[in-house]
C-alpha cells in the first residue's frame, strides 16, 4: 500500500505491506537507523519512538495505521546536536555500547514532557519498558536525575511541514480494499466489512498481540486486515447515567484507563491493573478490547472484570448484544464473539463503585511480567466483617479466565473470622484445576484470598 505520514516534521511516502512495522520502514526505507531493533516483540524498548506525541514501540506499529500521522525519532530529538539529557547520560556513564540509548532517550523525553520533575519512582516507571545489557540501570536513573537538576526541558516536537496529506479518496480506498486492506472511518463501515468478510478479515487495534505473534510465527500474515484505531465509537470512556455504569470502549488504551478519574475515586483495582500492563509504551498502545478478545488465559483485564461484575457489549450490523463477563470465554482462546461482531465496550456497574477491591498479579518477577496467576476480588462490606457481592475472578491457571463458582455461597452474608476464611479459601482453591503445578497454584490461590480478607478484617480491627 502507498502511505503518507510525517517523520520528524517532514512528509514521507512509502510503498509497503500493511502489517509491516514502523520500525522496518524507518530503518530500511527511510534510512533512519538511530531507532534500533532488539527483540522485535515489544520487550526491549530499543525501537521506541513518539507517535502523535505518545511513546510507542515502533516494532509493534503496523504500517496501515500510520496514514497522515506524525512520528518523531531519535534523529528528530537530536537534530540540533546532543540534548542536555544526552549529555547528562554521558556524564553519568549511562552509555556503553549505545545500542539501547536511543530508546532510553525517547522514553526519558516522554517522561519529562509529562512530568518535568519526576521522583525516583516515576523515573523507574518511565524507563521500565527499556532494557540495557551494559550499564546497569543506576547510571540511567542518575542520568535523568542530573538532566532534571540541570533544568533540562524537552524540546518541542518539530512542527509538521509541507503540504498536508490529502484525505484518502474513495478511489484509493477502493483499490486498497481490493488488496484486502480496510480502513473504515466509522463503526458502521467496519461492521459492514465484517458482515461481508467475516473470519477472513483480521481486525487490528493496538497491534501489541498481533505483531509479536507474527514475528514469533504463532500467527500467519492474514490476507485481509481492518484497522480499528480511531473509530470514535470504540474510544469512548465515560460514566453513562442511562446504564448506571462506567462504559469503557473496546479501543480505549490502558493508559487512558489508568488515568481516568473514576478509577482514582471508585475503582482503584481497575487503575492498578491498567498500570501493571507492560510498561508505559505498551499501556499507550494496548487496548482493553484487544486484551479481552485475544483471549489469553494470562490477560490481566478479564479476572478483574469478572470480579467487578463487568459486561461485554458486542455490536454487529444487526445491533448490540450483552454478554456477562462470566459467559465471555468458551474455552482456550475461544470467546462468545460471532464473526460479524466487534467488541464495542465493557460496562462496569456503579453498584461495585467503592467496593473493597484488589487485583493481584503473581509472576516470575515483581514488575513487567506475564501473570502466572492473577486474581481480581471485589466485595461490599454490609456490616463489620459481613460481606455481600463476593466475587473472585481468576486468570492464568486455567485455559481461560474464570469466576470462582462458590465464592458467594461460602463467603457472603456471614460473620467472617480469619479461621473460617482460611477453610473457605482452601475449598475455593480446590475448585480450580490448574493446567500444571496444581498443588503450588492452588496454594497460591488460597493464600491470595486469605490476604485479601485479612486486609479487610484487619482494617476493621484497626478502625474499631
Ligand atoms: C511487551 C509486552 C508486555 C505485555 N504485558 C502485558 C501485561 O502485563 N498484561 C496483559 O494482560 N497483557 C500484556 N501484554 C499483551 C497485550 O499488550 C494485551 O493483550 C493488549 O491489551 C492487546 O490489545 P491490542 O489493542 O494491542 O490488541 P491487538 O493486538 O490489536 O488485537 C488482539 C486481538 O484482539 C482482537 N480485537 C481487538 N479489538 C477488538 C474488538 N474491538 N472487537 C473484536 N476483536 C478485537 C484482534 O482481532 C486480535 O485478535 C503485553 C504485550 C507485550 C508486547
Ligand atoms: S525491538 Fe524490542 S521493543 Fe521493539
Ligand atoms: S549501553 Fe549497551 S545495551 Fe545499554
What is the CB neighbour count within 10 angstroms for residue 110? 23
Distance CA 429, CA 275 (A): 27
Asked whether 371 lines ligand 3 (CB < 6 A), one says no
Lowest mean pLDDT among 59-68, 82-91, 214-223, 418-427: 214-223
- Ligand 1 mean position, distance from CA 291 (Å): 4
Distance 198 CA to ligand 2 centre (A): 32
Q: Is 235-463 in the same CATH topology as 1-165? A: no
Q: CA 386 → CA 85, 279, 403, distances in Å?
A: 54, 37, 21
Distance CA 41, CA 103 (A): 14
Q: CB of 95 closer than 6 A to ligand 3?
A: yes
For the chain, what is the mean pLDDT? Answer: 93
Q: Given this structure, which CATH class describes domain 170-230?
A: alpha beta
Distance from Cα 227 to the centre of ligand 2, integer Å: 22
Looking at domain 1-165, which of 3.30.342.10, 3.60.15.10, 3.30.43.10, 3.10.20.30 is its CATH number? 3.10.20.30
Is residue 40 in contact with ligand 2, taking CB distance under 6 Å? yes
Does residue 143 have a pLDDT over 80? yes
pLDDT class of 21 with cuts at 50, 70, 90: very high
- The pLDDT tens digits of the residues spanning 314-367 come to 999 999 999 999 999 999 999 999 999 999 999 999 999 999 999 999 986 655
- pLDDT 10s digits, 225-235: 999 999 999 99
Please enumerate in sequence order all residues whose Cβ is within 8 A of that of 344, keeping only pairs 6 or more positions apart, or say none: 187, 233, 234, 249, 250, 313, 314, 315, 320
> Which residue matches cell numbers 490461590?
445
Asked whether the CA dihedral 292, 297, 298, 301 is positive or negative, the reply is positive
Sign of the torsion formed by the C-alpha atoms of 37, 40, 44 and 50: positive
Q: Which ligand is nearest to the CA of 97?
A: 3
User: What's the CATH number of domain 235-463, 2.60.40.10, 3.40.50.970, 3.30.465.10, 3.40.190.10?
Assistant: 3.30.465.10
Give which of 7, 66, 59 is closest to 36, Cα–Cα.
Answer: 59
Helix (H) or strand (E) holding 90: helix 84-91
Please report the atom of ligand 3 found closest to the CA of residue 98: 1
Tell me the torsion sign for CA atoms 97, 280, 211, 332.
positive
Question: For the chain, which residues make up each domain, given as ranges?
Answer: 1-165, 170-230, 235-463
Q: What is the mean pLDDT of residues 54-58?
A: 97
Amino acid at each position: 500500500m502507498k502511505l503518507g505520514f510525517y517523520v520528524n516534521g517532514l512528509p514521507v511516502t512509502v510503498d509497503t505491506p500493511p502489517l509491516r512495522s514502523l520500525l522496518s520502514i524507518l530503518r530500511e526505507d527511510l534510512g533512519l537507523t538511530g531507532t534500533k531493533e532488539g527483540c522485535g516483540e515489544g520487550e526491549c524498548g530499543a525501537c521506541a519512538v513518539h507517535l502523535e506525541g505518545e511513546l510507542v514501540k515502533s516494532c509493534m506499529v503496523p504500517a496501515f495505521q500510520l496514514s497522515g500521522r506524525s512520528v518523531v525519532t531519535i534523529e528528530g530529538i537530536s537534530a540540533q546536536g546532543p540534548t542536555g539529557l544526552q549529555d547528562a547520560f554521558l556524564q553519568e556513564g549511562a552509555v556503553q555500547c549505545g545500542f539501547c540509548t536511543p530508546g532510553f532517550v525517547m522514553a526519558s523525553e516522554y517522561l519529562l514532557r509529562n512530568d518535568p520533575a519526576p521522583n525516583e519512582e516515576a523515573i523507574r516507571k518511565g524507563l521500565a519498558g527499556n532494557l540495557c545489557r551494559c550499564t546497569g540501570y543506576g547510571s540511567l536513573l542518575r542520568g535523568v536525575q542530573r538532566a532534571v537538576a540541570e533544568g533540562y526541558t524537552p524540546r518541542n516536537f518539530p512542527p509538521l511541514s509541507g503540504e498536508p496529506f490529502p484525505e484518502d479518496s474513495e478511489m484509493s480506498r477502493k483499490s486498497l480494499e481490493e488488496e484486502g486492506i480496510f480502513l473504515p472511518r466509522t463503526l458502521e463501515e467496519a461492521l459492514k466489512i465484517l458482515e461481508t468478510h467475516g473470519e477472513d478479515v483480521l481486525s487490528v487495534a493496538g497491534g501489541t498481540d498481533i505483531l509479536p505473534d507474527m514475528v514469533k510465527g504463532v500467527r500467519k500474515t492474514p490476507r485481509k486486515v481492518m484497522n480499528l484505531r480511531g473509530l470514535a465509537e470504540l474510544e469512548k470512556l465515560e460514566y453513562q447515567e442511562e446504564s448506571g455504569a462506567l462504559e469503557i470502549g473496546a479501543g480505549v488504551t490502558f493508559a487512558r484507563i489508568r488515568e481516568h478519574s473514576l478509577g482514582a475515586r471508585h475503582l482503584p483495582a481497575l487503575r492498578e491493573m491498567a498500570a501493571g500492563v507492560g510498561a508505559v509504551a505498551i499501556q499507550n498502545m494496548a487496548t482493553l478490547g484487544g486484551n479481552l478478545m485475544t483471549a489469553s488465559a494470562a490477560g490481566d483485564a478479564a479476572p478483574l472484570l469478572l470480579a467487578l461484575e463487568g459486561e461485554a457489549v458486542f455490536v454487529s450490523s444487526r445491533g448490540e448484544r450483552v454478554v456477562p463477563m462470566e459467559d465471555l470465554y468458551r474455552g482456550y482462546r475461544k470467546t462468545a464473539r460471532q464473526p460479524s461482531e466487534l467488541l464495542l465496550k465493557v460496562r462496569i456497574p456503579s453498584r461495585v463503585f467503592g467496593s473493597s477491591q484488589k487485583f493481584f498479579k503473581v509472576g516470575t518477577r515483581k514488575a513487567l511480567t506475564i501473570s502466572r496467576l492473577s486474581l481480581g476480588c471485589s466485595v461490599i462490606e454490609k456490616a463489620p466483617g459481613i460481606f455481600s457481592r463476593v466475587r473472585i475472578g481468576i486468570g492464568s491457571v486455567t485455559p481461560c479466565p474464570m469466576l470462582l463458582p462458590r465464592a458467594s455461597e461460602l463467603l457472603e452474608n456471614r460473620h467472617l473470622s480469619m479461621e473460617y476464611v482460611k477453610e473457605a479459601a482452601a475449598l475455593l482453591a480446590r475448585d480450580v484445576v490448574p493446567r500444571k503445578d496444581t498443588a503450588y497454584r492452588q496454594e497460591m490461590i488460597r493464600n491470595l484470598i486469605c490476604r485479601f480478607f485479612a486486609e479487610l478484617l484487619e482494617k476493621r480491627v484497626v478502625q474499631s
